[in-house]
């Protein structure tokens, strides 16, 4: 009886530890608010970036709202050749996703065009940045 019980306990302990390792390596699911992006066939990294920007803006001191229109999400540029997210804050990444967005500064009513950059490494967002993209003024 003891000879059968010991291997069974060992197999049970091994399978439990393997479950934890596999569970830890899974990529996080998108929040339900962004699940519609998968129906639009948006790449997973782009959808994660949109969710990361929304979380980042909630705590940003300068902006209170950020909108990334669906057409901008669908036309997001994914750069696999870039090794860092930005020159000012060099974070090693696998992909950089660039897309146009619109942000509203706290306490103001005007929206500003923004260029958003998002760095993804190992399937996780590791850095986001927003830079204003002002329309060039036409001088006549």
Q: What is the mean pLDDT of each run of 10 residues along the chain (140 residues)?
A: 55 45 44 77 90 88 89 91 73 90 90 90 89 73
Distances (CA, A) of 38 to 15, 45, 73, 107: 32, 11, 11, 33
Neighbours of 52 (CB within 10 A): 20
* 123 φ/ψ sector (left φ>0, alpha ψ -120 to 50, else beta): left
**Residue-level pLDDT at 3:** 60
The Cα–Cα gap between 113 and 106 comes to: 15
**Residue-level pLDDT at 81:** 82
* Boundaries of every domain in the chain: 32-132
Residues in the chain: 140
Place of tokens 């958003």: 116
pTM: 0.68
**Residue-level pLDDT at 83:** 73
The string of pLDDT tens digits covering residues 59-77 is 888 888 899 988 999 999 9
């Amino acid at each position: 009886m003891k000879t059968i019980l010991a291997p069974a306990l060992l197999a049970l302990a091994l399978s439990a530890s393997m479950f934890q390792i596999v569970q830890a390596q899974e990529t996080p699911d998108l929040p339900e608010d962004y699940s519609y992006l998968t129906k639009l066939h948006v790449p997973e990294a782009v959808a994660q970036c949109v969710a990361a920007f929304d979380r980042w803006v909630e705590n940003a001191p300068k902006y209170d709202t950020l909108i990334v229109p669906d057409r901008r999400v669908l036309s997001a540029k994914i750069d696999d050749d870039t090794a860092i997210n930005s020159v000012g804050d060099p974070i090693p990444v696998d992909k950089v996703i660039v897309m146009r967005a619109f942000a509203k500064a706290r306490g103001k009513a005007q929206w500003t065009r923004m260029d958003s950059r998002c760095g993804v490494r190992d399937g996780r967002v590791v850095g986001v940045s927003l830079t204003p993209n002002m329309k060039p003024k036409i001088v006549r």
